[in-house]
Amino acid sequence: MTVRPPTLREKRRYVLVSAEPSGTIIERKDLYYAVCDAITSLWGDVTAALIMPAVIVSENGYIIIRCRRGTERELSLALATITSYRENPIALRIVAASGTINTLRERIQRLQTPDTEPVGPQEYIVGEKVFHVTYCSGQKVDLIEKGFKNTNRLFLTREDLEEL
């Protein structure tokens, strides 16, 4: 099928989303299935077909999702209902929407801040379990339980660490 001229193509919008918790590795294909599942569950197959979602870019915790122009609201509401990814809890926070991918790439570069080193030790004992620092940015500090399986995360702040 030949490519249509720009005036005949469908207008699309791109939504920039950040994935939490930090450090979550997002596979485009798996996220696409999660997004499609959320859209179909909330809006049904007909609206899902109208939205035509696609995961375009996934890098450094930021994701660009494509949809048809005018369906951004439906997509953003469906994204708010995604609570797990590969059986791990996740939150997708909408950062911006744009008509071009380039604008959102520039936005990603502006948003990326280097992790700051935590003050104090790297390991903490919370409720008889050993946790180590996995992420630290500004006031936010994430701890993850030591171990191989079923490791829990704790979401704290620097003030909380000082009180431990």
Partner 1 sequence: MKITDACIYPYPYGDSSVRRMALEARSLGFDRLVAAGISSGNFYGIDVLNGVLLRDITLKDLVNHVRDIRDKNAVVSVQAGDSGFNRAVTSVKGISIIRGIQSADRTAFDHVTARMAADNRVAVDIDLSPLISARGIIRQRAIHRYRDILVLERRFEFPITLSSHARSVLEMRAVREISGLCSLLGMDSPDVEKAFAGVDTITTPPDPAVRVL
- For residues 47 and 67, is the Cβ–Cβ distance under 8 A? no
Q: How far is the CB of 153 from partner 1 (least distance, A)?
A: 6
Q: What's 24-83 look like in SS3? A: CCCCHHHHHHHHHHHHHHHHCHHHHHHHCCEEEEEECCEEEEEEECCCHHHHHHHHHCCC
Nearer to partner 1, 56 or 80 (CB): 80
Q: How far is the CB of 84 from partner 1 (least distance, A)?
A: 9
- Provide the binding-site residues for partner 1, judged by CB under 8 A: 20-21, 41, 73, 76-77, 80-81, 83, 89-91, 93-94, 127, 139-140, 152-157, 159-160
Nearer to partner 1, 10 or 163 (CB): 163
Nearer to partner 1, 76 or 98 (CB): 76
Q: Which residues pair with 64 in a beta bridge?
A: 16, 57
| Cα separation, 5 vs 76, whole angstroms | 29
- For residues 56 and 13, is the Cβ–Cβ distance under 8 A? no
Q: How far is the CB of 89 from partner 1 (least distance, A)?
A: 5
Q: How far is the CB of 41 from partner 1 (least distance, A)?
A: 5
